[in-house]
Structure 1
Amino acid sequence: MAFKNISRKSYVGFGGWLVLFAASLFVQFIRLLLSTLDNYSIIKSDEFKRITDPDSEYYNSSLYPSLIVDTTLSLVICIMIIFIIYFCVRHSIWFKKLSVIYIISSFIIQCLTLFWLLGIHFLPEEFYEEINIYQGVISSFAYMLIWLPYLLISKRVKNTFA
């Protein structure tokens, strides 16, 4: 049995692990769009108006600006994902660069969101028990550990997006 000589061309194009990375981008894009719509509905709700009213006992001055920043960053990441997909289709060198920026910035945003949540003192303890506020940071860190080395070392990425 002769071994097949694997040439450079076998590691070119959209395939292999790159398909999983693209699928994760699609899932993240949908999640961010849904999060942005949730934030918009929260901003328009009566409860939110009460919380952001300076005369309310539950008033927190950082809540409104934080939600606006979170929504804006989600939209920026969505736009970044659209550009990543565009550069992937065009086989541009910018795919790799923008993907690395996306992965790192997503992790930083998750860390900032965690610090923001920990800084809100008026939230009931049940809030912290019902959700895992560390989940975003942990999953973003794992995502970074998996995909950053892949994008920087992969033969397919080097050959396709050079």
Structure 2
Amino acid sequence: MNEKDRLNGLKGWLLLVMVGLFISPLRIIYEVFPAYYSFFMTEGVFEYVTTPGAEGYLPYFLTFLVSEMLFNTLLVLAYAYLLYLFFTKSYLFPQLFIVVIFASVIFIPLDAWLGSFFDSSISIDNPEIKKEMIGSLISACIWVPYMVVSKRVRATFGVGGSNKD
């Protein structure tokens, strides 16, 4: 058995990647979407902050909220697609995984900064947001190099093209 055959497969550290691929979208759905639901379903809240002339009107808040919802929805769909690519051992998996990781690293502080214009508790200084930013940065520092240099990743997903030899 040669080294490529021995390393080929969803084993080793790739199992931790798989766990993260399952947990990440569930965490987004569990933590983020209930806030959207309560915002839209609590009577009067939506109108209070989005109606020009209302006491609590926040210009551009609706644009911010819709953009945030769209990004989080796309992120959940990206994780679902990553799971598909992971289990089919597609050569696209490592590259798309890296893109999604970097998108998260960029989105969290950008979202906090933009959110701070509407609510001072949504700032980069918020301990929960700092925790999210540090977590995504640590994740990127671990998994991006792993996807780039790992022999197992190369053997399992192929490099530079389809691995359906």
Q: TM-score, normalised by structure 1?
A: 0.84
Give the match for residue 111 of structure 1.
Answer: 109
Q: Which contiguous aligned blocks of 4+ residues in structure 1 show a shift greater than 6 angstroms?
A: 127-130
Following the alignment from structure 2 to structure 1, what is the Cα–Cα distance between the partners of residues 102 and 120?
31
What 5-or-longer segments of structure 1 have no aligned partner? none
The equivalent of 2:6 in structure 1 is 10
Quick check: 2:108–2:129 contact (8 Å CA) kept in 1? no
Aligned to 1:158: 154
**Match for residue 43 of structure 1 among 40, 43, 53:** 40
1:124 Cα deviation from its structure 2 partner: 5.7
* Per-residue Cα deviation, 1:107-152 (whole angstroms, up to 9, x for no partner): 11112112112222xx366x76875332222211111111111111
- Superposed, 1:3-152 pairs within 5 Å as 7-34=3-30, 35-45=32-42, 46-120=44-118, 123=119, 132-152=128-148
Identity %: 24
Structure 2 alignment gaps of length 5 or more: 159-165
Q: Alpha-carbon deviation of 1:61?
A: 1.2
Question: Any idea what the Cα deviations from partners look like across 1:20-63, whole Å, max 9, x if unmatched?
Answer: 11111211110222323431331232223212222233221122
Compared with structure 1, are the counterparts of its residues 124 and 81 closer, same or farther at alpha carbon in structure 2 (3 Å cutoff)? closer
